[in-house]
């Protein structure tokens, strides 16, 4: 076998041994939501407006045991979903998961990212979370996926960051050294890793990091193995990340956790430094942020294939003619205290609450404001908080 095939076989063996993610199977739809998997919410975030169609095709690329796939089906009731993975064991769990919860608009294929061209047609939304960094050639992987993205389509990607995973990398190397010729025996690797953690002093940096960040989920061997004995992992920094993005040939739309990439979060006490940073390019500013906050363990972001129209609501008359609807990813509505798309608490003023109550997808902003005492800046604030989706008149 080629080096690439050898790596892919080793990754498949890991996930056949420890199917991942190990979330429990339910006989009902999964609880809550991830807005990045909701076409309406994701499209609105990326373009500023509600998508024109909902009967779309979605690809879950590297679906594992189908945790994300299940959400993609239930959160997008008019979509058809395809899941692919190179682990037959994980796919068996994914099929059972979706069957049990009634996620019946999905088909699965035992397929590598590199062979995704075997699937017919294009996809409007591609989800690839926690996968590319485990392939032997992430550039080849992202390019293969990019070819399957339809014009105007979105791709959401999640890859590891090197700065926040430094201690993990050290532990991976330590386990591999102690395994010796048993490397590739993943059950032995988990046993060795757990023995190391049990033996190291409590004030050891690797132990402290594990306890602070990962110990709860790593009680499960599947999670421990995925983190510490994986046969293939490539971690990124902002500079190498954008090399990967540029290789895709797609448009970088933005990080899907934009709050982390706000420099004022770190330097609000030094506005003169924030002003200096305005002279930097976006990528330089992202690099500055991760250097100042090296806890970043991953990057999550959207790419798009043009034409992808970004709607500008800065003109008052354009906003007044827009038709607003509630973002589908909110919890606790109707109430003045709700959870937003990111499960952060939002407290609405009486006027904001009244405005949102009137957003029925039929009235324009102007028509609603004729009866609700709210200003356009407040409407823009609701949009910025992803509480509203807008459709141009």
Q: What is the pLDDT of residues 332-355, one digit of tens each?
A: 999 999 999 999 999 999 999 999
In angstroms, the CA 46 to CA 119 distance is 26
Query: What is the rounded CA–CA span in Å between residue 323 and residue 311?
Result: 13
pLDDT band of 309, cuts 50, 70, 90: confident
- pLDDT, position 2: 75
More reliable by pLDDT, 308 or 84: 84
Give the whole-angstrom CA distance, residue 350 versus residue 185. 60
Task: Provide the CA 155 distance to its chain's centre, in angstroms.
Answer: 10
Nearest to 117 by CA among 151, 94, 140: 140
The confidence band for 1, taking pLDDT boundaries of 50, 70 and 90, is low
- In the structure encoding, which two tokens stand for residue 153, read together? 């389509």
Q: Average of pLDDT values for 46-63?
A: 97
Across the chain, mean pLDDT equals 97
Model pTM score: 0.96
DSSP track, 336-388: SEEE-TTS-EEE--HHHHHHHHT-BSSS-HHHHHTTS---HHHHHHHHHTT-E
Please state, as a whole number, how many other Cβ atoms lie within 10 Å of the Cβ of residue 330: 21
Mean pLDDT of 306-315: 92
Q: Whose structure tokens read 């250097």?
A: 291
Using the predicted structure, report yes or no on whether residue 62 has a pLDDT greater than 90. Answer: yes
- 175 closest CA partner among 201, 194, 162: 194
Can you state the angle between helices 350-357 and 376-384, rounded to 10 degrees? 80
Instruction: Please give the angle made by the CA atoms of 287, 291 and 292, to the nearest 5 degrees.
Output: 120
Residue 185 burial by Cβ neighbours in a 10 Å radius (0-12, 13-18, 19+): middle
Query: Is 229 in contact with 193 (CB distance < 8 Å)?
Result: yes
Given a cut of 80, whether residue 391 has pLDDT beyond it is yes
Burial of 355 (0-12, 13-18, 19+ CB in 10 A): buried
């Amino acid at each position: 076998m080629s080096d690439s095939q050898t790596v892919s076989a080793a990754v498949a063996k890991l996930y056949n041994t420890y199917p991942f993610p190990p979330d429990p199977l339910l006989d009902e739809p999964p609880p809550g939501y991830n807005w990045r998997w909701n076409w309406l919410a994701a499209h609105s975030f990326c373009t500023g407006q509600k998508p024109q169609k909902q009967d779309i095709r979605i690809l879950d690329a590297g679906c594992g045991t189908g945790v994300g796939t299940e959400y993609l089906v239930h959160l997008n009731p008019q979509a058809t979903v395809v899941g692919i993975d190179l682990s037959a064991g994980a796919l068996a769990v994914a099929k059972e998961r979706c069957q049990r919860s009634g996620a019946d608009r999905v088909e699965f294929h035992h397929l590598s990212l590199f062979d995704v061209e075997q699937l017919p047609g294009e996809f409007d939304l591609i989800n690839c979370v926690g996968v590319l960094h485990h392939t032997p050639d992430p550039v080849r992987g992202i390019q293969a996926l990019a070819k399957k993205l339809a014009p105007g389509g979105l791709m959401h990607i999640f890859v590891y960051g090197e700065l926040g995973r430094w201690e993990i990398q050290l532990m991976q190397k330590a386990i591999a050294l102690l395994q010796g010729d048993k490397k590739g025996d993943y059950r032995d690797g988990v046993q060795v890793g757990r023995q190391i953690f049990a033996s190291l002093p409590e004030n050891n940096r690797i132990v402290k990091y594990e306890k602070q960040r990962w110990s709860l989920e790593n009680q499960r061997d599947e999670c421990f193995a995925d983190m510490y004995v994986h046969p293939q992992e490539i971690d990124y920094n902002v500079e190498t990340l954008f090399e990967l993005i540029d290789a895709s040939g797609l448009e970088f739309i933005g990080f899907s956790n934009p709050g982390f990439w706000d420099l004022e979060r770190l330097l609000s006490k030094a506005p003169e430094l924030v002003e200096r940073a305005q002279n930097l390019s976006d990528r330089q500013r992202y690099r500055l942020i991760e250097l100042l906050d090296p806890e970043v363990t991953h990057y999550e972001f959207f790419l798009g294939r043009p034409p992808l129209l970004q709607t500008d609501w800065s003109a008052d008359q354009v906003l007044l003619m827009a038709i607003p609807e509630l973002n589908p990813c909110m919890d606790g509505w109707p109430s003045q205290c709700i959870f937003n798309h990111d499960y952060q608490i939002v407290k609405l003023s009486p006027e904001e609450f009244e405005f949102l109550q009137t957003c029925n997808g039929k009235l324009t902003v102007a028509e609603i404001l004729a009866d609700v005492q709210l200003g356009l800046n407040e409407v823009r604030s609701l949009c910025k908080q992803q509480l509203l989706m807008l459709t141009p008149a």
